[in-house]
Chains A and B, each alone.
Chain A
Amino acid sequence: MPSNVIMPQMGESIFEGTLTKWLKKVGEPVKRDEPLFEISTDKVDSEIPAPASGVLSEIRVNEGETVQINTVVGVIAEEGAAASPAPAKVEMEDAPKPQAVQPAPQEPELTPEPEPAAAASRSVRSSPLVKRIAREEDVDLGQLEGTGLGGRITKKDILSHLSGRQGSDVPPSAAPAPRMPGTERSPAGSSEVVPMSAMRKSIAEHMLASRRTSAHVTTVFEVDLTRIVNIKNQHAQEFLEREGGKLSYMPFFIKTVAGALKEFPVVNASISGTDIIYKKDVNIGVAVALDWGLIVPVVKNADEKSFLGIAKTASSLAERARQKKLAPEDVQGGTFTISNPGVFGSLLGTPIINQPQVAILCIGAITKRPVVINDAIAIRSMAYLTLTFDHRLIDGAVADHFMSSLKNKLEQWDEPLF
């Protein structure tokens, strides 16, 4: 078997050498340890002896060439009976290279971690421990309320949830939610797991956060809207012809609320730490129900707009909302919010404040009801208006004064529409 002749490493930091001279030609016989070629490196010039006896059968690196250490520079083939008693030559390729990377021992396949089914758990603050328990016990962390710092779901929270998996864990929300059957694991096939949309997640977080931030109190006022109803009916046609759109009740409310907010600036404020931030602008957001969720476009500077201006802005915003064409500034900067579930039949709501505002007005359905006026029964168009306010800033008396003023303005509406 032939022996490889290699470029040796003459010095720890040496990694290449120049073959300066071959002392034998191809075909010449070679004796082991006999000088075979000369090299030059950064450190030293050397005569290199042959590693085995035989015939120089190949020269692979020529004089003057520089190659890396351990490169095969030539081959010595066996010739007849070997003179030296030395046994098998060392396989040069197998010789340990100074910085060679040895093949790593068997490594098991690294399979990627399967995604947990409850995607909602990822957006909720918890910890590696809680996530693991949630995964193992099939708990949807989005359903839990956390008692840890910043609302984090702690080990205690999930463990106590697991030990008492009865009844609903869902917090009260703006719209009456269908009663949840509890989050215990259903046998496969009887329920469907659907991840929340981004909007839904956002609403969920916002509602929860709002309830935890403000001291929600709700006051209810009954308002006689007969006059406005009449005005609306009288001018509906004209409005349609002039503006090309339907005249709704909302502009009446927006205009009135804007006026009331100018009277009671504290209801148009927000809280920052222990500071009260009084907003100069009156930007009234109007909650719009969409097929896929809820959005609150804002009528900016409602106090400076005319009735018509408000009507136009409001209807344009609603239209764009339905077409998903709202720009970011359309939904930003609100200082007060009006919600109108009355259009869906709700008599009276207890809305959740739209942070960072301090109050929200809910308009119930306008229905004809028998009421007592001057000790006689009359049929009037009535509606319940509820104001949920943040008792950190607004006391009951203030809220009621605000609502009184609002009620008066609405009941005695005498603004021109055009």
Chain B
Amino acid sequence: MAAVTYLEAIRQGIWEEMERDSSVFVLGEDVGVYGGAFKLTEGMLERFGEDRVVDTPISESAIVGAAIGAALMGMRPIAEMQFADFISCAFDQITNFAAKCRYRWGAGVPLVIRGPSGGGIHGGPYHSQNPEMHYVHTPGLKVVAPSTVYDAKGLIKSAIRDEDPVVYFEHKFLYRRLKEELPEGDWTVPIGKADIKRTGSDISVITYGAMVHLALEAAATLANDGIELEVVDLRTLVPLDKERVLDSVKKTSKVILLHEDVRTGGMAGELAAIIAEEAFEYLDGPIMRITAPDTPVPYSPPLEEFFLPKTSDIIRVARQLAAY
């Protein structure tokens, strides 16, 4: 197959699942006639019809609520949040209804809620958020965040096939910037398994989403100084692949936790606690975090540049940690 973009990979994944399983359908704002704000669902209405590609009113709560109803009935809805930022409008339905059905009364809710998250596109506070932690913090949900074209396709398919509600955060910055040739056939990427994107012996960099690429950039530079980073891509935030994270940390004894999300209450804090608790006697240096500051995402380019973690940040901290 020819190389496809990250966006195209997600589209392919959804399309293939809709072909494969007639219970899969898409609903959201502008997904049908318009083909989606980012053209991710382009062509689907023509192929699968109005029943399975539903243009909804601007009602995130009702979109998710209706998806829950359909999922309870055995359908596999994919509810799109046009920008992940708008997922907050459906917070109650997601955390109080979808997340808790199985636990409370044994009813599975096999739905997917997906949307483009992340900054770097001058979107300002409401088109750049990384809202994942609100959902990581809610038992009963699964949360994934692919960083590559391959993972994006593999994970959307797994999410659709999963029996539990999956919140799928794709990164808009990567939509058209990444291109990869994908294998033929029906393959998936398992939910709940991290991936070593680069092996190394000196420092483990645990990260996800767009930051994976920054970590790889930094690793290339640092290799020239004889500092070898191991880049661990979480891919899934919940359920966390704790074993793989701890294996890496036990190997290198030094760790940098990296994410684009804000600092407080971010995934790095959770990982730091796990590592400090379960790998205490393997640490040869303090656990370092590189994150955005605790502010909303600013708009003006110099401000957004300051806000987002940079490759140079990773390089600097890695050098300092290596020398410790």
Contact indicator B253/A148 (Cβ below 8 Å): no
Which residues 234-259 in B have Cβ within 8 Å of A in the complex?
Answer: 253
Taking CB atoms, residues of chain B closer than 8 Å to A148 are 323-324
B281's partner among A128, A149, A154 (CB-CB below 8 A) is A128
A248-266 near B? 1/0 per residue, CB < 8 Å = 0000000000000000000
A412 to chain B, nearest CB (A): 54
B282's partner among A129, A149, A152, A154 (CB-CB below 8 A) is A129
A150-193 near B? 1/0 per residue, CB < 8 Å = 00101100000000000000000000000000000000000000
A148 to B283, CA, bound (A): 14
A130 to B282, CA, bound (A): 8
Interface-centre pick from B281, B282, B284, B324 (highest chain A CB count, 10 A): B284
Contact indicator B284/A127 (Cβ below 8 Å): yes
Bin chain B's interface residue count.
under 10
Taking CB atoms, residues of chain A closer than 8 Å to B253 are 127, 129, 155
Which residues 274-313 in B have Cβ within 8 Å of A in the complex?
Answer: 280-285
Closest residue of chain A to B323 (Cβ to Cβ) is A149
A200 at the interface (CB under 8 A from B): no
Taking CB atoms, residues of chain B closer than 8 Å to A127 are 253, 283-285
A152 to B284, CA, bound (A): 10
A57 to chain B, nearest CB (A): 42
Contact indicator B324/A152 (Cβ below 8 Å): yes
A132 at the interface (CB under 8 A from B): yes
Contact indicator B323/A128 (Cβ below 8 Å): no
Contact indicator A130/B284 (Cβ below 8 Å): yes
Contact indicator B284/A129 (Cβ below 8 Å): yes
Taking CB atoms, residues of chain B closer than 8 Å to A149 are 323-324
A154 to B323, CA, bound (A): 10
Contact indicator A132/B281 (Cβ below 8 Å): yes
Taking CB atoms, residues of chain B closer than 8 Å to A129 are 253, 281-284
Taking CB atoms, residues of chain A closer than 8 Å to B283 are 127-129
A128 to B249, CA, bound (A): 13
Taking CB atoms, residues of chain B closer than 8 Å to A130 are 284
Taking CB atoms, residues of chain A closer than 8 Å to B285 are 127
B260-284 near A? 1/0 per residue, CB < 8 Å = 0000000000000000000011111
A155 to B323, CA, bound (A): 12
Interface-centre pick from A128, A130, A131 (highest chain B CB count, 10 A): A128
A155 to B324, CA, bound (A): 10
Contact indicator A128/B280 (Cβ below 8 Å): yes
A97 to chain B, nearest CB (A): 23
A44 to B65, CA, bound (A): 38
Taking CB atoms, residues of chain B closer than 8 Å to A154 are 284, 324
A127 to B283, CA, bound (A): 7
A129 to B282, CA, bound (A): 4
Taking CB atoms, residues of chain B closer than 8 Å to A132 are 281-282
A130 to B283, CA, bound (A): 8
A372 to B280, CA, bound (A): 69
A152 to B285, CA, bound (A): 10
Taking CB atoms, residues of chain A closer than 8 Å to B323 are 148-149
Closest residue of chain A to B286 (Cβ to Cβ) is A127
A10 to B240, CA, bound (A): 43
Taking CB atoms, residues of chain A closer than 8 Å to B282 are 128-129, 132
B175 to chain A, nearest CB (A): 41
A156 to chain B, nearest CB (A): 9
A128 to B323, CA, bound (A): 17
19 contacts between A and B (CB under 8 A): A127-B253, A127-B283, A127-B284, A127-B285, A128-B280, A128-B281, A128-B283, A128-B284, A129-B253, A129-B281, A129-B284, A130-B284, A131-B281, A132-B281, A132-B282, A148-B323, A148-B324, A149-B324, A154-B324
Q: Other than the known A127-B253, A149-B324, what 9 A-B pairs have Cβ atoms closer than 8 Å?
A: A127-B284, A128-B280, A129-B281, A131-B281, A132-B281, A132-B282, A152-B324, A154-B324, A155-B284
